[in-house]
Amino acid sequence: MARESLRQIAFYGKGGIGKSTVVANVTAALNAAGHRVLQVGCDPKHDSSRPFWDGSRPRTVIELLREYDGRNPPPATYVKKAASGVEYIEVGGPEPGVGCAGRGILKMFEMVEEARVLDAGYDAVLYDVLGDVVCGGFAAPLRAGYAREVFVVLSGEFMAIYAANNICKGIANYAERRQVRLGGLVLNRRNVPAEVEVVTAFADAIGSRVIHAVPRDSVVQSAERRRRTVVDSFPDSPQATVYKELASRILEAGHLAIPKPLSDEALEDLYYRVCDAAEAAARPEPAVPAKPARGRARQPAGGGPG
């Protein structure tokens, strides 16, 4: 049984929203601040921990289970440690189109429980989870009672907010049974129109908050080309400061709440209403034609006809 002070935090978000980049940089920021962190990649793409790989890709839990003929492999084969000190697990998944990746997540939790991996003295465990909680396997961090705190990564695009609303429905379903709470929303900016306004309005509507806005910055791609996080590659950059601030705010956990997800119709209404209002406010006022001067027209120089 993991100690009570251990923070277990799940991150969800629509696929392609940049969630894994955010999670890896939060992990790196916590590690740099002296916390012992375990990052668990719960995605069939098994690339959550890529910035921490020292050389070759680590074996995933699914691959090891095949090698061990279904027997639980020893923790040393799947809990890996980067040179920076970050520890990580990649669950992995079946071949595309074959099997269920969610089952791999469920099996990973069985292995971790049996081997008492979480009793190793971690300060925080961060679960990087595929963005759809409809499947019970991907809801496992919540359903099994491991992660009590959830942060949702989104942008101002409608489908990203739609996915966030669905995730909030899953959180609400597990709120009473497993004491799961929403810690807040992380705006990973795409610089679309009215982005801050619409995400803030959505957060207010579901009873949550935007804990931080992460700007777009080419330094993220520069770090990815090095297979490192921004925090590790460019620790003095403004973007690294943002990730460090985000990590600090996550640890503060000042507002854990049961979200009140919107109906699909209410979500669409909110989105288009806020976007339309922002567009109207940004539209320049039409030019008003100058009024003609009042009074008698002046006679041209030299006088009139005589």
Question: Which residues have a catalytic role annotated?
Answer: 14, 19, 45, 132
Q: What is the edge-to-edge ordering of all strands in the sheet holding 124-129?
A: 80-81, 87-90, 37-42, 124-129, 7-13, 149-154, 181-188, 210-214
Rounded CA-CA distance 188/11 in Å is 13
* Closest to 256 (Cα-Cα) out of 209, 221, 293, 214: 209
| H helix or E strand, kind and range, residue 185 | strand 181-188
Q: Residue 81: CB partners within 8 Å, gap ≥ 6?
A: 87, 88
Task: Say if CB 262 and CB 270 are below 8 A apart.
Answer: yes
The two structure tokens encoding residue 248: 């600090």
